[in-house]
Amino acid sequence: MIEKQQNNMTDLSLADDLFERVGTKGLSGEDIGKKSLTYWADVWRRFRSNKLALFGLILLGLVIILLFIGPLLSGKDYQFIDASMKNLLPSSEYWFGTDDMGRDLFTRVCVGGRISIYIGLCCTLVMFVIGALVGAIAGLQGGLVDDILMRICEFIGNLPYLIIVVILSMVMGRSMFSLVFAMSLTAWVGTARMVRGQILQIKEQDYVQAARALGADTGRIIIKHLLPNTMGIIMVDITMSVPGFIFSEAFLSYIGLGVRPPETSWGALASAGQQQLMFYPHQLFFPCLMIILTMLSFHLIGDGLSDALDPKLRQ
């Protein structure tokens, strides 16, 4: 019996010689093992594995590139009026046709898109800065400070949005600044409440208590510890808010409360094209198409970020 076991061991030792390691020569155990990924590297890996989100990112990039190089390609001024070229259909010279004043519609769509996206990004930035700071302070301080800030949020959040825009337009005039200010005045309330809810969940964590014990002030705790740990949900909110602001600007321009001529935006172009819908529908179609493509791309990116930043889905 013992002799049989020895023979089996000899067979096993001989079997090792029959195998050859491939692709690991000269590598250490750390090199052979799987490389560790940082949090944001893992987020990018999961984001690019989402085909729809990647499509949305590419689509948004193409739209932005078109907005900036479009006037260079057409070689036309978006404010140039040629009465002899009024209401032309799309052609090789005028790719999107012309409007009722003979201006090149393709160039105006590109320039108007810059303004619409610029307003959307500015409003989102104001919403993020004010909402994140107010929500972080309210959640971290608690008590009376939390009660006061939340009552302020409730008051501002219940103000009628359209009436605020009309009043500010009358007081400050129809300018880019007044439009961004009016749209951002109440938008940060939702972000503040969302950030406050996240802060209430993580402010009792050990690393926050350790920072307090080491003498860190409230500002440092918020910037260094609390906000970075809420960036996931904040980034999703930002991505979803940009198309909302673009659509709001388009709506305000559509009803005549947006940018002042000769400046234009997608909403202003859609408002002008609506008047020519029966006979020249292309004047309404192209601005609306750009709004749809931009909003679609942001929503696809937001859905992809929502999945990529979810720690429950991390592998």
pLDDT at 39: 66
**179 CA to centre of own chain:** 20
Q: Kindly report the CA angle at 197 between 217 and 203, in degrees rounded to 5?
A: 35
**Residue-level pLDDT at 240:** 81
pLDDT on residue 62:
94
Name the residue range of residue 115's domain: 54-73+96-313
Would you say residue 262 lies in a domain? Answer: yes
Could you give the number of structural domains in the chain? 1
Return the CATH number at 165. 1.10.3720.10
Residue 44 in any domain: the answer is: no
274 inside domain? yes
- What token pair was written down for 179? 């439009």
- pLDDT (0 to 100) of residue 310: 65
In a domain, 91, yes or no: no
pLDDT of residue 159: 80
Q: Cα separation of 66 and 87, whole Å?
A: 23
In a domain, 141, yes or no: yes
Inside any domain, residue 222: yes
pTM recorded for the entire structure: 0.76
With beta carbons less than 8 A apart as the criterion, state whether 111 and 78 touch: yes
| Residue 4 counted as domain residue | no
> Cα separation of 269 and 130, whole Å?
31
Cα dihedral 305→310→313→315 (10° resolution): 90
**Does any domain span residue 126?**
yes
Q: How far apart are CA 150 and CA 131, in angstroms?
A: 11
**Long-range own/partner contacts, residues 252-259 (CB < 8 A, 24 or more apart):** 252/165, 252/179, 252/183, 257/165, 257/166, 257/169, 257/174, 257/179, 258/174, 258/179, 259/115, 259/174, 259/176, 259/179
10-residue stretch averages of pLDDT, the chain, 315 residues long: 52 55 56 61 82 92 92 85 84 87 90 89 89 86 86 85 79 79 85 86 80 80 75 79 84 78 83 84 89 89 80 56
Q: What is the pLDDT at residue 69?
A: 92
